Structure 1
Amino acid sequence: MVDVEGPSTAKQDASNMLIGYQQAIFPMADCRDAKQFHWFTCEQRGIIPLHQFHVPKSLKKKIKKGCYSLSVNQHVEEMLRHCAQREDGSWISYRLEKAYEELNQQGHLLSVEVSYDGSFSGGLFGVFIRGAFFGESMVSLQPDSSKIALTHLVAALQLAGFNLLDTQTTTSHLERFGQRMISSDDYQKILEQALDRQPISLKKQLIATTEQNFMATWLAKVN
């Protein structure tokens, strides 16, 4: 990752973050208590091509059983807190956490939450602007919770007409789902296309993925 100059840091609010994402940069802080955060970019950018998404067989079986419930933006504070408490989550400073909460109030943050027996068990959150979704962090308090959330998210992104799922960097965890690295130039082209789109409601499409038999039918079409 490369530390770059981004929108003014004099007032690092949600509006500046939206500007940064649209400039192909993303925010990270040095630690949980950091007063400032930095802007970064990557020469090679991680994405998950939405129509080349792969779901491992064991996860398909688990999703088809449906022994979990899915919610959208019902546990945002809990999601942010658990993601920040992860060993690699200290980049989410208290100030960044507040900015994400502001983005949620503005309708630009999406929290995909998985629960078992009414208890929050994990998921993921990210920021979305037009046809671009910028994945920020995932957490699993129960096995596979973040993977289940990711699978529902991709189904919803397809339904809503998105064309970018940005993962920023690469991880072995996400490579199993078809994540790949592309050049910054190629990323910029995809981002520009995504920002020109006017997709339908992502939240509504996520809720649609919870309808009876939807995921079983969708998963049958996925590699």
Structure 2
Amino acid sequence: MAKYASQNPILVAVDCIIFGYDGEKLKLLVIKRAIEPIKDHWSLMGGFVHADENLDGAAKRILLELTGLHDLYLEQLKTYGELSRDPIERTISVAYFALIDINKYSTQINDRFHAEWFELKAVPTLIFDHDLMVKDAINKLRYRAALEPILFELLPKKFTIPQLQVLYEEVYDTLVDNRNFIRKISASGLLIKQSQKDKSASKKGAFYFKLDKAKHKAQFQFLNLLPKNKGTELQ
């Protein structure tokens, strides 16, 4: 087979920014890097793209290796190609972000990679340009969550309004007015009220809700729930 003459090969990698929510805190899943350089330092889960797979396939394979799961919410974020981003060899990385309900998947995270969940404000310094990838992913998550209900991917099938509100507060790093939130989310028509209650926090309890999947793709904007001086950019 003919090859392009005088062209140096460049490695292509995929890195996965994996967000999870445990009902109280939004967290990031990171691993201990298993190879040099910077072995045993904290890193996003990633790997090189194989010759027989496309980018999406590589990202799904990497997530399967780490979590043992498939059919997770996965979205391509951005391509990173600074000349010095990898000190060993010129490598271009395509970043993806994934959304996981921690409580559902906690027993399935593969400990072969020494994976650990960190609250966003307590994430250790990551290798290479992975800190930038996480920042970009948070900003993208905020933007997307303002336009459509992707944050429901972080919730269990049944959840309470307080759990949903805390999730949005975690994502946007701001407090949301409780009455306004309840009014807006009720008006969206996306939630189906259940007969059961969660009484773990109080005797009165809070009703469970489910997402109305039939309306999942309806026009949906949460951006106006947030204070006007709080944009979607991560500072």
Q: Same fold by TM (over 0.5)? A: no
Going by fraction, where is helix more abundant, 1 or 2? 1
Q: Normalising by the residue count of structure 1, what TM-score does the alignment of the two structures yield? A: 0.31
Say which structure, 1 or 2, has more relative contact order (CA 8 Å, 6+ apart).
1
Q: Normalising by the residue count of structure 2, what TM-score does the alignment of the two structures yield? A: 0.30
